[in-house]
Structure 1
Amino acid sequence: MRDCHKNRGGTPPAPQEDTMQNTILIHAPGRRQGRGALVLAYTALFALLMGIWAAIFALNGQSFIQYGDTLKQHYPFLVYYGRWLRQAVRCVLTGAAVPTWDFSIGYGADIITTLSYYGLGDPLDLLAAFVPGRWTEQLLEGLIVLRLYLAGLAFMAFSRRHGNSRFGTLLGALAYVFSAWPIQAGLIEPVFLVPMYCFPLMLLGADDLFEGRSPVLYIAAIALTALSNFLFFYMAAMLLVLYAIAVYSKRYGAKNLRTLPPLLAKFIGFALVGIAISAVTLLPTAQELFGSARFGLTRETAPYPFYRFFELLANMTTGMGYDAYSTYAGVTSAAFLGVLVLFAKPRQNTVLKCAWLGLLALLLVPQAGSVLNGISYVSNRWVWAFTMLEAFILARVCPGITAFEPKEKRNLFALLAVYCVVAFCVKQGRTETALLGALLLVLLAVFVLAADDVSRRGVQAVLLAGCCLGVVMNLGGYYGIEEADAVNEYRPAGYAWSTTVQDNPAVTLHLMEDQSYWRYDSLVNEPINSPMLLDVYGTGYFFSLNNSYLSSLFRELGQNTPVEYDYRGLQNRTPLETLFGVKYALCAPDSTGALPALFDSQAVQAAEIGGSTVAVYPNTAALPIGYTAKNQISRETYDTLTPLQKQDALLDGIVLEETGLLPEAELTGDTVSPAAEMELDGVQQLDETTYYAPQDGGRITLTIAQPVADCETAFVVQGMQYTATSPLDAMSEEELSAMSAHDRRSLQKQYAHFWRKDSVYLRLLSNIGEGRIEYNRPNSQYYCGRHDFVYNFGTSDEPLQQITIVLPFAGYYQFDRLAVECQKLDTVAARAENLGAKNLQNVTLGTNSLGGEITTTRSSVLVVQLPYSTGWSVTVDGTPAQVLRADTAFLGVALEPGSHTVAFTYKTPGLTAGAALSAAGVVLLAAIWAVPALRKKSKKRRK
């Protein structure tokens, strides 16, 4: 007879299960006794293993600061964030505006949208407010350790909620925290550790909803994840949906669909409250993300190579297994033994088996990596969820890990044999670390198969020792100097502060007496993103989100930067140095020959920095921050020009999206493309734009009959595309037969996966220098839609007479245009002086604002060299005016003849609405938490 009683939560009760051990979806809340002992044991073992990890670095004289993204992105972020937080508090206390725009981030950028990916909303990063910049390195290392520790605690809470034993939970937590994901990715990108503790909390919150409990944890976990990192929130949300579907299917099944609408309403409604709480950072970031050039690009998704499955299996017991898709799926040998034991026992834990096979399948399907990575390039950055599942499996099977029926023993032995054969049948899996992991796996498997008479304490001791030994082996295998030597990628303690601030060549700029607003370029080794730590205005940038309008301008000008969010300088292109307001250049005194043409070779400042002399050289033709254009270039005319012609044209007028504001500009530049004769060597021209190189190293040589002297010379590629082919395809049967079997197999192995090539470069050889153009194909994670490139050879004593383009790999190369372009610089200074004749005076840089005074004698447009954003507004003489998009990427405002006061003000798009949503979300959360308690108290009073 159907039970007609309703539970208090309004959700029909779940049907009874036959056995708790059959599924992770039936909760048997863990006993409270022993909870403290479990946490204490975990803390002690975590400290031991973390100490070994730190000791490996200390013995090699290194810190946790990796030379790549950690030093270039995460460390500058944390130093800057601490300073920004302290400033924000002062602003709030004094009633001043909180900065949301910074002129020193790249060419100027929004603080919230630029830095949110790195943890601007993460509550843990608020600790930066209390740490001086000099000690931020230690804070960053401490946060890495803290996040790892919290990941273990969150996992244990989830595991115990699902009825797993304390000892199994302890083993699972260690396997999870010291899995391949944090070992390989956690130090390089500290933000990658965020989902490791947020996701278990989201699952616990979902469990609360299924059981009719308070939704507070669910809401808080969603808010925490979304505040900490928008990308991992998206991944966690997608995986949460899969988890909820699995739980619902098991608890209710298809016969109880009447329970779905109320549950679905709860999940969606309370999730929206959590998202609302995070909206203060999430909404502005989402708006910026959807407008970025990388979002929505059409990409190619190539299938994985066949050996990938075997390599993935071989590295299940290691901290290794690097690939280009962040598939760090390894755990300890003990944890993978748990997976084998799971499958060795039929008719048990069916849901866990399906979950493991399902997630493994997703790891083998590139489209899954694309979808879970924000419908972007293929990356398995969600693999932390897979390792969490494996750790949970270990926790689940641990209590009965030595209890086998004879058939189950045979199953485990067979699975172990199949694993060893399959995992190591390809060379990619036969690494020393993988073999050692497999050996430990075999030893542990032999022990559990023969441990019938071993005491429970003895079994636990061996499993714990095996788990810890596996962790140490994985740490040593990846970081050990005799092994993968990844520790060599890290830098000594104190290096980060010394390099980015104390001994940064840009410190020389602080000695300058010029107090006006100006930018500088750098011809010395200066850390990227360091200008934001020194309050100087550079020309470099390396953060995941960037201004889309600036990217469009760089694409139009053919900047030789295939990755749009990672650029350094203007590549010595003289007109661009002028147009972007670069007034000075940092250069070593013995390298002044590398300075752009119109820079003075006489230094205006010099200093000894970090044991080397750094000097500052002025640009004689730099435009001020605000200059006026009296003529405009139509978008139609501008788009027909070549990249060098475009930069030349911008000295004659301004490109506006609106028509008819100014008279049409007369283009007076002198950019020529001398005729060249083409010679092919190892290359076939199939049609006007397509070239086929059957073998690696084909060459295209352009010889110029009438070279152009006294100019800035560049090589221009437009409409570049590349499709890889195998050199073997171009070889005849006779050529192949003439080779020895060994040589033939070697070639086949070398080019077995030619079709996966995701990038290519062009090597440029000329009589005036060498160069390189890099191109990312649509299947590359770095693809940004760029197909036009300019390599600037600069000026030289002799003209370019011949250039050879080396095609390094076999394949089809498409070029809409290959040309040498020469730009005369005789009139650049004069045209720049004409543009800057009427410029913004008495410029003031305020909080989120820029203002000044200007007098014009005719109708014109004021151009301000700051990246355009819809967040900018402008007033002229106190009256609101329209912000124009000038030269694709800059700010502009129309001016009538006369004297004017101009004020630009910035407000982060979506910030006001986001803050309002966050406030509303907090109020709703407080109400959701308080109302049940008040009702309970009220009922007690009535009694």
Structure 2
Amino acid sequence: MGRTRGGMPHRPLTERREPYLSVFLLSFGMMLLVLVPVMIFTKGYFIYYGDFNSQQLPFYYIAHDAVQHGNFGWNWLTDLGANFIGSYSFYLLGSPFFWLTVPFPQEWTLYMIPYLLALKHAVAALTAYAYIRRFVRSKQASLIGALLYSFSGFQIYNIFFNHFQDVTAFFPLLLITMEQRVNENRRGVFALTVAFMGILNYYFFTGQAVFVILYFILRCPAEDFHADLRKFFSIALEAVIGVLMACFMLLPAALAIIDNYRIKSFLWGLDMVAYNDRTRVLRIIQSFFMLPDLPARPNLFRSDYGKWASIGGYLPMFSMAGVLSFMSQKRKHWATRLTAVCIVCAFIPILNSAFYMLNGSYYARWFYMPILIMAMMTAYALDNPKIKWRGGLTVCFLFLLGFALISLLPSKEDGEVVWLQLAKYPWYLWLTAAVCAILLYLAALTIRYRSRTRRFYRPAVCMTVFSCLCSTVSMVYFGLELTSVPTTFVDTAINGGSKISLEMPEHQFARVDISQDYDNYPMFWGYSNMRCFHSIVPTSLMDFYDALDIQRDVASRAEPKHYALRALFSVKYYFDKVKDDNDTDYSFTLDEMPGFRYLKKENGFYIYENEAYIPMGIAYDSYIRQNDFDTISKMTGEKVLLKALVLSDEQIEQYSDILTELPAPDVSSMSAAEYPAYCQARAEQTCSSFEYDSYGFRAAISLEKPQMVFFSVPWESGWTAEVNGKAVPAERVSNGLMAVRCEKGDNAITFRYRTPGLREGAIVSVSGLGALLLYLIWRLIAERGSRPKYPKQKHFYDYAGTDMMFEQAVYTEHAATKQHGRPAYRRKKKQPEAEKHDS
């Protein structure tokens, strides 16, 4: 028993070759199969809706170009300008998937997006399989668990946020390397993984730190987790070293957002213990028992809050049946306790916010971590014949029935009782409910089949694949139904630049503006755009808009009535979307934006030229005190910014020799009729040339007297300035933009940009790498010749699986062979041939 035909002993199932390639290719092919119809329709692209189109695609496009040309400093295509590393480290700069596109031409970048999506799902399945296999005896059951993680509701929801899937693809490595450090005594791999995850995305990294601490604490009592105080301190040390090694990315990112008001909101009072949105808990529960609602589209439990919170957790086919069955019958298991703690955290606001450094904004973007544990629990429950599923399946069916009954409740609209309209998209609710019910029935059949035969895994895997495809198709194609025709986006946004011919000022700088709902189109066309949908921009820019009472949270969207900002920002052209080519009532005027003259129609837009355009680098000889500016109306204040700089008392004292206070009559608002002529006069008092690159800009101006020269570029600590070769302060003026002092005569102005924290972060990273090497050498010397307290343990199976006919005997003989170099002695007798099967 336990020998091959040639007499050599079998390798135990735990040490046979794992089907990693099969797991990878299967998951890759499944995701690509879902996307191929869209790719055929759009001639190779994958176009979705919302943030995917307006952020993920243009960000990949411009970041690819920036990296290829070595432009890592200042990015001029992001809003009024932004720190490239600080702004894009959250989205893609730390992602290995993004770096795969860099060797290829920019024109190929967006064609690669669907393949990268498939690759992310494949990597997620691969790493999840490697983690789940440590606890689940069967390879097929582990494959099922890996697919559940890779195609969970959380994953499909976050196709909308393409960069979130970078994190979910690699997160299992963090738990694997911790297990390796504790149970296999492998040093250094945890530190490297911590560094990698920190580089990958700093926002998710903070939540991972919290989860890993919970994981370690709740794993400690388990008999298969050989932790002790020494290993605890070594893990803590490796974690610190890993953070140090990631500092070349973490430090610039932290400095870019440290003053952002969005990270300074916290929960207080009752908001710490109860959600103010009455639908939130119901939405969380629903998302684990049904396919989740899509981003920005709450369906059954409608709400204006948390619409982009990534609330999702459904496991295809099995739903929560395996998790509930596991928890009810393995109550003292570490996975049960960890899942219970996560459930409590999800329902209590302050605990939920702990995954985001106690930030007051609600997000559920940490759910992927317990989902991995739930996928493992489901695979375990499937492989362990002692786990009974009846109770878990019943609860899942009851929840589905409950949500269906809730959707039947009457609502009142315009004083009339309306039935079957409680959900915003009733047909989609019933479709998803039907899909989930059918898939749950398939799960019940799978469990029933399990009890009757040992060979149930092949149909089980096939049904899991089918269920993952059904779930993904249902969500993805509903999202596509919510958007305009994908080919329109391709023609107008991605390929629209070739259809636009604008005469930009020679040796000068100009921006454009665009109408509502087309925020980042100019990124594809290569124009700097004052209307920008980007969450991570310089804090000074947010301060500027805040001073004018213009909301600037995730986007800069100054309405047309704020026309004076177009002149201040050197906007030369405005794109107004053509709604109907046959519209004979279109006036070809912009009533709210004086100074704009209709030019032509191109690429589906009416293009207007700004006759009130003011080139970059405006000379000022007047100021207004910050306190005085704060007291005038905001609409008046926008026009005052064209007349005077807003200065602090210290700046007024410093530049009192060249600036005078704006007279009270000039503070009063100019009329719309006076505005174009005033701007044309101001245009004569600007720089004669302006040249820029990623590491600064150069301008020239001739003045009749000393003045301050203003640039509509967000101030950051990384800016330094010189005038005629002499260093001068780069002043933060007008609530967040920049100006420098220039003297009478010709002035050559040079601004240089260095990413704050990059050099210091790189030094810390090199130091962290050196600390890791010293740590490894030290432990290698200290442990030479010593025997570990526990043997290395790659797997731990505390149950007899569905395929356990001869595994224990095979393992015993194999272990003896490895230890003594020969098979264990036994009486010579005819050995029955081992049955060939996999776990």
Q: Do Structure 1 and Structure 2 share a fold, with TM-score over 0.5?
A: yes
Q: Give the Cα–Cα distance (whole angstroms) in 2 for the partners of residues 516 and 189 of structure 1.
A: 36
Secondary structure of the 2:537 match is coil
Q: Is the 8 A contact 2:397 2:437 kept in 1?
A: no
Q: Give CA deviations for 1:237-257 in whole Å, capped at 9, x if unaligned.
A: 22111111212344699xx99
Q: Is the 8 A contact 2:547 2:735 kept in 1?
A: no
Match of 2:733 in 1: 886
- Please, which of 176, 190, 193 is the counterpart of residue 204 of structure 1? 176
Q: Give the Cα–Cα distance (whole angstroms) in 2 for the partners of residues 263 and 936 of structure 1.
A: 14
Seen in structure 2, the aligned counterparts of structure 1 residues 126 and 443 have a Cα distance that, compared at 3 Å, is closer
Match of 1:488 in 2: 481
Match of 1:686 in 2: none
Q: Is the 8 A contact 1:863 1:891 kept in 2?
A: yes
Secondary structure of the 1:888 match is coil
- Please, which of 331, 350, 374 is the counterpart of residue 315 of structure 2? 331
Is 1:161 the equivalent of 2:134? yes
Seen in structure 2, the aligned counterparts of structure 1 residues 245 and 287 have a Cα distance that, compared at 3 Å, is same
Seen in structure 2, the aligned counterparts of structure 1 residues 885 and 392 have a Cα distance that, compared at 3 Å, is same
Alignment of 1:67-216 (within 5 A): 67-88=49-70, 98-185=71-158, 187-211=159-183, 213-216=185-188
Tell me the TM-score normalized by structure 1. 0.70
AA paired with 1:520?
V
Match of 2:27 in 1: 46
More strand by share: 1
Q: Give CA deviations for 1:599-630 in whole Å, capped at 9, x if unaligned.
A: 26364xx4x633x47545232x3332112211
Seen in structure 2, the aligned counterparts of structure 1 residues 45 and 830 have a Cα distance that, compared at 3 Å, is closer
Alignment of 1:622-641 (within 5 A): 622-641=613-632
Unpaired runs of 5+ residues, structure 2, are 1-11, 299-306, 408-421, 424-428, 579-585, 787-839
Deviation at 1:871, TM superposition (A): 1.0
- Please, which of 665, 671, 682 is the counterpart of residue 668 of structure 1? 665
Secondary structure of the 1:651 match is helix
- Please, which of 272, 278, 293 is the counterpart of residue 240 of structure 2? 272
Q: Give the Cα–Cα distance (whole angstroms) in 2 for the partners of residues 115 and 353 of structure 1.
A: 38
Deviation at 1:149, TM superposition (A): 0.4
Unpaired runs of 5+ residues, structure 1, are 1-28, 89-97, 673-822
Match of 1:292 in 2: 260
AA paired with 1:191?
H
Is 1:444 the equivalent of 2:443? yes
Q: Is the 8 A contact 2:49 2:480 kept in 1?
A: no
Deviation at 1:638, TM superposition (A): 0.9
Alignment of 1:404-553 (within 5 A): 415=395, 426-427=406-407, 431-442=430-441, 444-445=443-444, 448=447, 452=451, 454-457=452-455, 459-479=456-476, 485-489=478-482, 498-504=491-497, 507-509=500-502, 511-512=503-504, 514-523=506-515, 527-553=518-544
Q: Give the Cα–Cα distance (whole angstroms) in 2 for the partners of residues 326 and 602 of structure 1.
A: 43
Deviation at 1:656, TM superposition (A): 1.2
Match of 2:413 in 1: none
Q: Give the Cα–Cα distance (whole angstroms) in 2 for the partners of residues 500 and 415 of structure 1.
A: 47
Deviates more, 1:637-646 or 1:362-371: 362-371
Q: Give CA deviations for 1:133-174 in whole Å, capped at 9, x if unaligned.
A: 222222111111111100111111112233542122111011
Is 1:824 the equivalent of 2:808? no
Seen in structure 2, the aligned counterparts of structure 1 residues 142 and 644 have a Cα distance that, compared at 3 Å, is same
Q: Give the Cα–Cα distance (whole angstroms) in 2 for the partners of residues 123 and 67 of structure 1.
A: 24
Alignment of 1:714-753 (within 5 A): none
Is 1:849 the equivalent of 2:696? yes
Q: Give the Cα–Cα distance (whole angstroms) in 2 for the partners of residues 412 and 894 of structure 1.
A: 72
Seen in structure 2, the aligned counterparts of structure 1 residues 846 and 368 have a Cα distance that, compared at 3 Å, is same
Aligned residues: 726
Q: Give the Cα–Cα distance (whole angstroms) in 1 for the partners of residues 282 and 542 of structure 2.
A: 40
Seen in structure 2, the aligned counterparts of structure 1 residues 214 and 296 have a Cα distance that, compared at 3 Å, is same
Is 1:244 the equivalent of 2:216? yes
Deviation at 1:291, TM superposition (A): 1.4
Deviation at 1:447, TM superposition (A): 5.6
Q: Give the Cα–Cα distance (whole angstroms) in 2 for the partners of residues 252 and 130 of structure 1.
A: 45
Q: Give the Cα–Cα distance (whole angstroms) in 1 for the partners of residues 13 and 780 of structure 2.
A: 24
Q: Give the Cα–Cα distance (whole angstroms) in 2 for the partners of residues 152 and 671 of structure 1.
A: 64
Deviation at 1:203, TM superposition (A): 0.8
Q: Give CA deviations for 1:54-104 in whole Å, capped at 9, x if unaligned.
A: 35646876953223111211111212222222212xxxxxxxxx5411222
Q: Give the Cα–Cα distance (whole angstroms) in 2 for the partners of residues 849 and 413 of structure 1.
A: 62
Q: Is the 8 A contact 2:617 2:710 kept in 1?
A: yes
Q: Give the Cα–Cα distance (whole angstroms) in 1 for the partners of residues 435 and 494 of structure 2.
A: 43
Deviation at 1:354, TM superposition (A): 1.8
Secondary structure of the 1:193 match is helix
Q: Is the 8 A contact 1:508 1:614 kept in 2?
A: no
Q: Is the 8 A contact 1:73 1:542 kept in 2?
A: yes
Alignment of 1:741-780 (within 5 A): none
Deviation at 1:565, TM superposition (A): 2.9
Q: Is the 8 A contact 1:519 1:537 kept in 2?
A: yes
Deviation at 1:651, TM superposition (A): 3.1
Q: Give the Cα–Cα distance (whole angstroms) in 1 for the partners of residues 595 and 260 of structure 2.
A: 34
Q: Give the Cα–Cα distance (whole angstroms) in 2 for the partners of residues 549 and 613 of structure 1.
A: 32
Q: Is the 8 A contact 1:158 1:203 kept in 2?
A: yes
- Please, which of 382, 385, 401 is the counterpart of residue 398 of structure 1? 382
Q: Is the 8 A contact 2:621 2:708 kept in 1?
A: yes
Q: Give the Cα–Cα distance (whole angstroms) in 1 for the partners of residues 531 and 394 of structure 2.
A: 57
Q: Is the 8 A contact 2:320 2:396 kept in 1?
A: no
AA paired with 2:35?
A
Deviation at 1:330, TM superposition (A): 0.5
Q: Give the Cα–Cα distance (whole angstroms) in 2 for the partners of residues 268 and 937 of structure 1.
A: 22
- Please, which of 234, 240, 249 is the counterpart of residue 281 of structure 1? 249
Q: Give the Cα–Cα distance (whole angstroms) in 1 for the partners of residues 67 and 102 of structure 2.
A: 6
Match of 1:17 in 2: none
Seen in structure 2, the aligned counterparts of structure 1 residues 216 and 500 have a Cα distance that, compared at 3 Å, is farther
Q: Give the Cα–Cα distance (whole angstroms) in 2 for the partners of residues 201 and 542 of structure 1.
A: 33
Deviates more, 1:433-442 or 1:858-867: 433-442
Q: Is the 8 A contact 2:497 2:524 kept in 1?
A: no
Secondary structure of the 1:382 match is coil
- Please, which of 597, 600, 605 is the counterpart of residue 601 of structure 1? 597
Q: Give the Cα–Cα distance (whole angstroms) in 1 for the partners of residues 587 and 249 of structure 2.
A: 44
Q: Give the Cα–Cα distance (whole angstroms) in 1 for the partners of residues 476 and 577 of structure 2.
A: 36
Tell me the TM-score normalized by structure 2. 0.78
Higher RCO (CA-CA < 8 Å; seq separation 6+): 2
Is 1:564 the equivalent of 2:548? no
Q: Is the 8 A contact 2:197 2:205 kept in 1?
A: yes
Deviates more, 1:223-232 or 1:889-898: 889-898
Q: Give the Cα–Cα distance (whole angstroms) in 2 for the partners of residues 833 and 527 of structure 1.
A: 29
AA paired with 2:337?
C
Seen in structure 2, the aligned counterparts of structure 1 residues 242 and 617 have a Cα distance that, compared at 3 Å, is same
Match of 2:712 in 1: 865
